[in-house]
A and B are shown apart, each in its own frame.
Chain A
Amino acid sequence: MADVRKKVIAIIAEQLAKPEDSISESSHFVDDLGADSLDTVEIIMAIEEAFSLEIPESEQEKIRTVGDAIAYIEKHAKA
């Protein structure tokens, strides 16, 4: 599952125009990476796209860190 981690970090780096090495699993989108509420929506959309997922809105609200995103994907992504 190292691939998921790598891919998620790449997506977030691209969306927020940040170097990948500044992002870790514990990074909080808003508090650590400076994302606003709209950035967060776009990150979720990009993740849905990349992993062919549909994340329900109630679940989207719980994804607040890079680690949250990785955990959700690992649990729900089709193999």
Chain B
Amino acid sequence: MSTPIHRRRVVITGVGTVNPCGLDATETWDNLLAGRSGIGPIDRFDVSDFACKIAGQVKGFNPDVCIDKKEQKKMDIFIHYALGAAHEAWVDAGFDRVELTKAEREVFGTYIGSGIGGLSTIWDEANGYRGPRRTSPFFIPSLIVNLASGQASIKYGLQGPNSAVATACATGAHAIGDAARLIAFGYADRMMAGGSDSVINQLGVGGFAAMRALSTRNDEPQRASRPFDVDRDGFVMSEGAGIVILEEYELAKARGAKIYAEVAGYGMSGDANHITSPAPEGEGGQRVMRAAMKDAGIAPEQVGYINMHGTSTPVGDKLECMAIHRVFGDHAKRIKVSSTKSMHGHLLGAAGGLETIVTALAVKTGKIPPTINVDNQDPECDVDVTPNKAGTFDAEYAMNNGFGFGGTNACLILRKV
């Protein structure tokens, strides 16, 4: 006989993002509902020799707002973005207006991951390498994956769990799921969690292009990310951060916090198949969605919307749709889905952070941002992808999928509160 495990409810009480569709959550949400793409030509380096010349670059981000000038040069740009998003989430949750006690800070942690970390810093340092006596003491702390969490914990005085996850494109979703569990099982009361990435440089673009993973629709950047369309030809690399404040439900309620959604379920799975290709029938995706629903204690029919991983690669989209059919059966015909990567591109380790925010806003408002560029839907992607125009749904639960290289999968289920 197993002992029932006491599990606390966890809610999202603050959101923050920096991405190609907006420098905050409100601007992003408005642009996504309107179907506006944030993709454009790469203007940060000479792309003449590159097969892929387009990306989702963050435009107009000013780190001065959230990072002391002296500190800025000690951080890779992925940490700048993380602290930008963290600041918005912190203020949004109202923590700029309350003085947390020492005891409260000791159970408030940070869990911000990154798929790759400071590749731009590595590139710059290696290019300008002038020997060991000229390597900056800030080189390592500015680029390692967990320093987004580390810097955020220092900035806000958060002394609870301080960790990070690096599961490629599933990073943000895993970070939020893991952090929610820390709260659910009593290891923390509040967590700042999400993901951040920025690798739009020669190594990042060249590396992903070498895998033939990127779209080369260079002449039409805004039409390049086209999940579920027959003419999709790869993902569009993007950058930014997506971070949420997670909080134990009773504490959030007691302080009158604004609640976006409850983190009701979380699943994890491994493909055990190939370093970059999904398992042949999307079995890893199937298992992760089932695991999340089991964790939430719900039936497939209760899920009304899925923010899909949907990166716009020929194989990935097809297999994720197949997985949805296998998992949801008849309900797959009714469930609404979309891939907002059609607009903001693929933020890699930050994707799950941003898309959890999008899913939370969908649950809260009943609105679904569209999948844009669906001119000719692939018959092998036979689900209601909310093509080209925003939609609505009326259900208590929504799902967010994130799949990463290495065959790692995450699925979050959010519930309307």
Binding site for B on A (CB under 8 A): 16-18, 38, 41-42, 45, 48-49, 54
Contacts and interface: CB of A to CB of B under 8 A. Distances in A.
Main secondary structure of the interface of A (DSSP, over half): helix
B70 A17 contact: yes
B137 A17 contact: no
B136 interface: yes
Contacts of B69: 17
Contacts of A17: 68-70
Contacts of B133: 45, 48, 54
19 contacts: A16-B70, A17-B68, A17-B69, A17-B70, A18-B70, A38-B74, A38-B137, A38-B138, A38-B141, A41-B137, A42-B136, A42-B137, A42-B138, A45-B133, A45-B134, A45-B136, A48-B133, A49-B134, A54-B133
Nearest to A55: B133
A54 B257 CA distance: 57
Interface in B33-80: 68-70, 74
A54 B130 CA distance: 14
Contacts of A49: 134
Which residue among A17, A18, A48 has the maximum number of chain B CB atoms within 10 Å of its CB?
A: A17
Contacts of A16: 70
A48 B131 CA distance: 13
A18 B68 CA distance: 11
A48 B137 CA distance: 15
Interface string B392-403: 000000000000
CB-CB nearest 7 A-B residue pairs: A17-B70, A38-B137, A41-B137, A17-B69, A42-B137, A16-B70, A42-B136
